[in-house]
Amino acid sequence: MKKLLFALAAALVLMIPAKALEVSAPSALLMEKETGTVLFAKNEHEKLEPASVTKVMTLLLTMEAIENGTLHYDDMITASAHACSMGGSQIWLKENEQLSVDDMLKAVCVVSANDCSVALAEHIAGSEDAFVERMNQRAKELGMNDTHFVNPTGLPAEGHVTSSYDIALMSRELILNHPDIRKYTTIWMDTLRNGASSLVNTNKLIRFYEGATGLKTGSTGAAQYCLSGTAERDGMELIAVIMKGPTSAQRFEDAKALLSHGFSTYALVKAMPDGALPPVNVSLGTQATVQPVPSGESLLLEKAKAAKLEKTVSLTEQASAPIAKGDVLGTLILSSGGETVAEVPLVAGEDVPRVTWGALALRYLRTAFLGR
């Protein structure tokens, strides 16, 4: 019930109209990370080749393996002949050369190393094909209905397609649940192999756009110039996806236009009351009151509305036990300029069981004979 009520309330916020904005790329999308709100979309479900932006999924599965303990940053990975044969962007791994997971992640994020992507895939799943199966399964779980992966690199392959919407979905999953990836995606220049190999980030936003946090570039002759670019300002992180940009420079200009539009137009607001909430009286409970708590959800609002935001708390005067943690006790109403922009449930912060008949009788006797 709590989730249903919040979903209905949040719908008021999520129906944000996109203002006029033009990008040259035939497919593009702008998404806010916390809420997943789409702020701009252009042919967002068109199935196109993603080139190395594919590696967002490779990175996601790698970070998930680290999180579940089947992979560690200091694990050493041995490069196979197959991994070394990838071509394209690479760090020129030699067969049987060993690098740590940490170094391979750096190589994938900074210079889009195809050889390291396949080496990670083989180490995690046992083979590249098995890893690709995991990629497609994870895509299905994320609702990436426009996507079919054939490899973990994005090198040209028949049937290897995705969409700007799906790229935003997997990018959001990566940066929302694995923020440590920033340790690699924000590197501008670095080295590997004790300084013998130099790395310069393919994502020019990292150096030239304020607040840039990542994420992944890609380009091939057929895919042209693609990008999933992320940036954060004032506690709000945005994802700008560009597919089939006409030039490398233009994809970055399009991404900057999307990001700047988002930062100048929207703000992320926590659905929290301005002051402490009073306790709610409980009848027939094991305790006399229960403390309501706000959901703490984030709301995405136009800046003009966020600047004039007013908050009103409405709480029930009394609740009957039993009360379960999460039961709705009231509503936090957020309005701006006389318009309600969201209604967020205020819920019980703890369980309050119903008092037993024996305890109720004892309570009555104490009140009757002892005055307490």
In whole angstroms, what is the distance from residue 303 CA to residue 335 CA? 13
- For residue 305, CA distances in Å to 52, 67, 263, 301, 334 come to 39, 39, 14, 6, 10
Q: Are 232 and 257 in contact (CB under 8 A)?
A: no
Q: Spot the catalytic one: 33, 42, 55, 244.
A: 55
Q: Spot the catalytic one: 27, 52, 171, 228.
A: 52
Q: Buried b vs exposed e over 117-134: b needs ≥16 C-beta within 10 Å?
A: bbbbbbbbbeebeebbeb
Active site residue 112: yes
C-alpha 40: how far from its chain's center?
Answer: 17
Residue 114 region by backbone torsions, left for phi larger than 0, else alpha for psi between -120 and 50, else beta: alpha
Q: Which of 268, 295, 302, 234 is nearest to 34 (CA)?
A: 268
Could you tell me whether strands 212-220 and 298-302 are parallel, antiparallel, or unpaired per DSSP bridges? unpaired
Active site residue 311: no
Active site residue 55: yes
Q: Spot the catalytic one: 112, 117, 219, 298.
A: 112
Q: Are 18 and 28 in contact (CB under 8 A)?
A: no
Positions marked catalytic: 52, 55, 112
